[in-house]
Every structure is written in structure tokens, then in C-alpha cells.
């Protein structure tokens, strides 16, 4: 039972990251934080995919996540990357439309 209470156990479970990602995306959509939490949820889903790939040895013998600290560093990096990508995508889609608020 003590293993399940350990934070390092849950950081390596890709199912936990999927749940976290879905919850963060739903909260951002329904509460409307102005797309602050959305990139973090996307990063959690990307990290879940990487953890799944590593658990199934899709990357070969390469060890992407040797410790829980590395998992958190990947999560932080993916969060920053997804913030930039989402902002670029939404700004690019906004350029093509005329703004009804410009007089």
C-alpha cells in the first residue's frame, strides 16, 4: 500500500498523466482560463504518450526517464513548447480574419 502513496510511483504511470491531461483540458475549456491551462494539459498528454512508448520499449533500449526528476523536467519542457506552439497556431488563424472590433 505504501508504494501507491509514493509520488515517484504515480509519476511513471502514463494513465495518471492521461487523466491529468484530460482534466486540465476540460477545466480550461469549461472554466475559461484564457488558454492558460490548455497547453499544460496538452503537455501531460504528450508525456503520457512518451511514457507509454517507453513502457512498451518503442524507443528501443533508450532510457528516456531514469528518475522522477527527469519526468518533471520533460513535463516542464513540453509545457513551454506547447504554450509556444498553441500561441503560434491561434495567432496564425486569427490573422486571416478581420476583427469586428476595429473601427
Residue 77 belongs to a domain: yes
Q: What pLDDT, on the 0 to 100 scale, is given for residue 36?
A: 84
Q: Can you list the residues of the chain whose pLDDT is less than 50?
A: none
Cell of 1: 500500500
Whether 99 is covered by a domain: the verdict is: no
Residue 4 maps to a domain = no
What pLDDT is recorded for position 1?
Answer: 59
103: DSSP letter: -
CA distance 92 to 86: 10
Please give the pLDDT value at position 37: 92
The residue segments making up the domain with residue 32 are 12-94
Residue 96: per-residue pLDDT: 65
State how many domains the chain has: 1
pLDDT of residue 93: 65
Look at residue 3 and tell me if it is in a domain. no
Predicted pLDDT of residue 83: 92
Does any domain span residue 5? no
* Residue 54 falls inside a structural domain: yes
Query: Is residue 56 domain-resident?
Result: yes
pLDDT of residue 103: 66
Amino acid at each position: 500500500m505504501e508504494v501507491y502513496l509514493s509520488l515517484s510511483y504515480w509519476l511513471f504511470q502514463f494513465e495518471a498523466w492521461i487523466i491529468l491531461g484530460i482534466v486540465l483540458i476540460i477545466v480550461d475549456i469549461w472554466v475559461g482560463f484564457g488558454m492558460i491551462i490548455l497547453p499544460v494539459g496538452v503537455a501531460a498528454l504528450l508525456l503520457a504518450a512518451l511514457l507509454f512508448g517507453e513502457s512498451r520499449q518503442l524507443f528501443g533500449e533508450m532510457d528516456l526517464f531514469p528518475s522522477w526528476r527527469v519526468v518533471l523536467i520533460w513535463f516542464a519542457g513540453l509545457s513551454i513548447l506547447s504554450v509556444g506552439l498553441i500561441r503560434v497556431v491561434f495567432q496564425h488563424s486569427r490573422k486571416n480574419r478581420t476583427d469586428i472590433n476595429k473601427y
